């Protein structure tokens, strides 16, 4: 094992000068299968895939955050479309109806999925903030897998 087994985890307390952290993605985000919400044609987001290869953890998480926001927008548009079809109104009226609490009668599961994805979008932002906090003044925060564990290593080439 290349990194200490007892490395502190992201989201915890950070001793000064610490450079290696463990990242437990599942404490922030897990894959939610859209099929569990009866959405057979909807692609989901698997957050682990964003961290499979080495690279900057913060850049990866920023992309993940954007993907969650775009995914939520896509789901929102589908909900509005369902409401518009059910009530025979235009999208503007359907959007207002949804914002006022109206949900599609036939497609209630998509609303549950939407709420879950909104929560995960917020969790991705919390993860991003925690990563930035752990990185501190360093330039980079590289991800690396070691013995089936994901580590984040603070790097600063300016200190060489």
Which tokens hold the place of 56? 């900057």
**11 φ/ψ sector (left φ>0, alpha ψ -120 to 50, else beta):** left
Is residue 117 one of the residues assigned to a domain?
A: yes
Find the largest Cα–Cα distance for the chain. Answer: 66
Is residue 60 one of the residues assigned to a domain?
A: yes
* Domains of the chain: total: 1
Strand partners, 56: 142
Q: In the chain, what is the straight-line distance between the N-terminal and C-terminal CA atoms, in Å?
A: 25
Burial class (CB in 10 A: 0-12, 13-18, 19+), 104: buried
User: pLDDT digit string (tens) for 94-145?
Assistant: 999 999 999 999 888 999 999 999 999 999 999 999 999 888 888 888 988 8
Is residue 38 one of the residues assigned to a domain?
A: no
Which residues, including other chains, have CB under 8 Å from residue 118's CB and lie 6 or more apart? 72
| Backbone φ and ψ of 53, nearest 5° | -95, 160
User: Dihedral angle at the C-alpha atoms of 31, 34, 35, 38, nearest 10 degrees?
Assistant: 150
pLDDT of residue 74: 96
Is residue 91 one of the residues assigned to a domain?
A: yes
Give yes or no for residue 4 having a pLDDT over 80. no
Is residue 63 one of the residues assigned to a domain?
A: yes
Is residue 24 one of the residues assigned to a domain?
A: no
User: pLDDT digit string (tens) for 17-66?
Assistant: 668 888 989 999 999 999 999 999 999 999 999 998 889 999 999 999 99
Closest alpha carbon to 66 in 125, 149, 107, 4: 125
Is residue 47 one of the residues assigned to a domain?
A: no
User: pLDDT digit string (tens) for 58-98?
Assistant: 999 999 999 999 999 999 999 999 999 999 999 999 999 99
pLDDT of residue 130: 92
Is residue 17 one of the residues assigned to a domain?
A: no
Question: What domain range includes position 125?
Answer: 56-135
């Amino acid at each position: 094992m290349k990194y200490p087994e007892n490395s502190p985890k992201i989201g915890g307390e950070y001793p000064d000068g610490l450079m290696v952290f463990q990242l437990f993605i599942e404490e922030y985000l897990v894959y939610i299968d859209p099929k569990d919400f009866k959405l057979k044609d909807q692609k989901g987001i698997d957050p682990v895939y964003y961290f499979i290869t080495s690279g900057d953890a913060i850049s990866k998480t920023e992309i993940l955050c954007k993907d969650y926001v775009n995914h939520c927008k896509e789901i929102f548009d589908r909900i509005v479309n369902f409401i518009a079809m059910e009530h025979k109104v235009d999208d503007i009226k359907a959007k207002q109806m949804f914002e006022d609490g109206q949900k599609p009668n036939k497609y209630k599961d998509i609303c549950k999925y939407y709420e879950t994805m909104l929560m995960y979008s917020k969790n991705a932002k919390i993860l991003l903030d925690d990563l930035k906090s752990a990185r501190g003044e360093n330039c980079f925060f590289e991800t690396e897998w070691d013995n089936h564990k994901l580590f984040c290593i603070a790097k600063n080439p300016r200190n060489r």
